[in-house]
Amino acid sequence: MIISHSHKFIFIHNYKVAGSSVRAALSKFAYLKSTKNLVLSTLGIRPKIFCSDFPDHVKSVDIKKRMPQLFLSYFTFGFVRNPWDWQVSLYHFAKQTPHHFQHKFISKMNFEEYIDWRINQDLKFQKDFFSNGQGEIIVNYIGKFENLQNDFNQISNKIGIPHFSLPKKNSSVRSSYKEYYTSTTKEYIASAFEPDIKLFGYSFDS
């Protein structure tokens, strides 16, 4: 999460959806709680916390509970990603990142084993970052990873900042996500992640 009081926006960081790239572009406008964090940001080192003791991947509904007036008056936004591509990215990032909290566990799995574990034991939806307990979207704008730069430009217009070319951060080294799926695992994702697929208008090829 990043909050800017000068430009009145709140960025909700859905994981593995270019959030680090967006954060890098927005960090100069962020409210930094301490002088130490300001110095770290100036040096190009991202502080752990960008505002008021929220974790990086806090959900919008939790932000709204803690700061309802700001949440309703500031421009709130985030990004989503094709669920099939999202799972491949999550899988490879965990495997390729030794300090990831699930690295040791996931690095022992092949992709089919990972999908089975994810769906049956650790199912999480992207919509939960941006909706309330009734499933209603409560943020102002949700961009798509597949249209990242153009959607970020639209956001920049809304919050009154210059257009930036987004840097690539935390990219996994891998092939196209389509190459990872069998007909069976493809359908597993279609069924398990149906809420995200319907809400955000995704298909396997989009």
Rounded to 5 degrees, what angle do the CA atoms 124, 129, 135 make? 85
Q: Which CATH superfamily is domain 2-200 in?
A: P-loop containing nucleotide triphosphate hydrolases (3.40.50.300)
Read off the pTM: 0.86
Q: What is the pLDDT of residue 35?
A: 44
3 secondary structure, DSSP code: E
Strands (E), 12-165: 75-80, 141-144
pLDDT at 54: 54
Q: How far apart are CA 166 and CA 26, in angstroms?
A: 10
The helix/strand/coil state of 142 is strand
* Domain layout of the chain by residue ranges: 2-200
> What's the confidence (pLDDT) of residue 99?
87
Determine the pLDDT at residue 52. 45
Distance, CA of 128 to CA of 83 (rounded, Å): 14
pLDDT in tens, the chain (206 residues): 888 988 999 999 999 999 889 988 998 888 765 444 444 444 444 444 344 445 567 899 998 998 899 899 999 999 999 999 999 999 999 998 888 888 999 999 999 999 999 999 999 999 999 999 899 999 999 999 999 999 999 999 999 999 989 977 766 667 899 999 999 999 999 999 999 999 999 999 98
Closest to 9 in 3D by CA, of 139, 149, 145: 139
Buried b / exposed e along 18-47 (16+ C-beta atoms within 10 A): bbbbbbbbbbebbebeeeebeebbeeeebb
* pLDDT attached to residue 172: 66
